[in-house]
């Protein structure tokens, strides 16, 4: 079987979602996993129940099973690394976009803006960063939903800088899209030291002729 199929079947069989597979220099095979996601219930949201996250034990379990499956199928690699998604987690499908509504994301279009830019941005621009929002594709149509990102090109106030209450609101721009128009989409790797809650917590397991699980 192809590598993608082997890994997908193994990860899904253990009850996890496959986020990404990457082959790196030196024979490193990196696999990123996550827990299956379901929209929180109203009761959970009201109670502030935190979203579960991948642990080191989860990564270790997947690592051991993958090592066996890859050996059976004769996959060539030198080191296997299984981890949870980082702060630049890829968004792959509708469920991922639904999950991260309200987060700042980076998107890359398959084709440049071209005439659709209408002079508001460069016609050759393909990369954008903004806050992910839902939008209706057809007014009044049930289930017809698309996506947009919203951003402002105004500079952010510097730390400690006082902002006048009379200051005019920053001009906002919005870009609507459907998933088929995207080459790539990821959570923006923004570190907020004021306490932004991470959607996923780091888990990690690494195998190289044995098992090494860091503290």
Give residue-wise pLDDT tens across range 81-124: 999 998 999 999 999 999 999 999 999 999 999 888 888 889 99
Bridge partners (DSSP) listed for residue 29: 23, 80
Taking the CA of residue 126 as centre, how many other CA atoms within 13 Å lie in the half-sphere pointing to its CB? 11
Burial (CB count <10 Å: 0-12, 13-18, 19+), residue 132: buried
Query: What percentage of residues in the chain have a pLDDT greater than 90?
Result: 56
Q: What is the mean pLDDT of residues 27-35?
A: 95
- Cβ neighbours, 10 Å, residue 31: 23
Q: What is the mean pLDDT of residues 13-33?
A: 94
Per-residue DSSP letters for 183-213? EEEEE-----TTTPPPSS---EEEESSSEE-
Taken as a whole, the chain contains a residue count of 215
Residue 210 has pLDDT above 70, yes or no: no
Residue 135: closest CA among 127, 126, 147: 147
pLDDT at 17: 95
Residue 130: closest CA among 153, 155, 163, 113: 153
Question: Considering the entire predicted model, what is its pTM?
Answer: 0.76
Give the ranges where the chain is alpha helix by DSSP (H): 3-13, 42-47, 56-72, 94-99
């Amino acid at each position: 079987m192809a590598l993608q199929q082997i890994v997908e079947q193994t990860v899904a069989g253990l009850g996890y979602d496959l986020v990404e597979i990457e082959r790196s220099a030196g024979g490193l095979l990196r696999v990123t996993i996550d827990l299956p996601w379901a929209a929180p219930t109203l009761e959970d949201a009201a109670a502030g129940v935190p979203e579960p996250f991948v642990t080191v034990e989860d990564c270790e379990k997947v690592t051991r099973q993958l090592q066996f499956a890859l050996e059976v199928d004769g996959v060539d690699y030198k080191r296997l690394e299984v981890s949870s998604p980082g702060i630049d987690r890829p968004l792959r499908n509708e469920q991922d976009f639904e999950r991260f509504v309200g987060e700042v994301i980076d998107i890359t279009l398959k084709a440049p803006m071209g005439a659709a830019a209408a002079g508001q941005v460069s016609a050759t621009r393909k990369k954008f960063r903004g806050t992910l929002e839902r939008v209706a594709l057809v007014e009044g149509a049930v289930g017809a939903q698309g996506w947009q990102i919203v951003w402002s090109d105004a500079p952010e106030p510097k730390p400690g800088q006082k902002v006048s209450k009379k200051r005019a609101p920053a001009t906002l721009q919005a870009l609507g899209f459907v998933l088929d128009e995207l080459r790539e989409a990821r959570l923006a790797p923004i570190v907020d030291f004021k306490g932004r809650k991470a959607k996923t917590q780091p888990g990690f397991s690494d195998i190289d002729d044995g098992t090494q699980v860091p503290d």
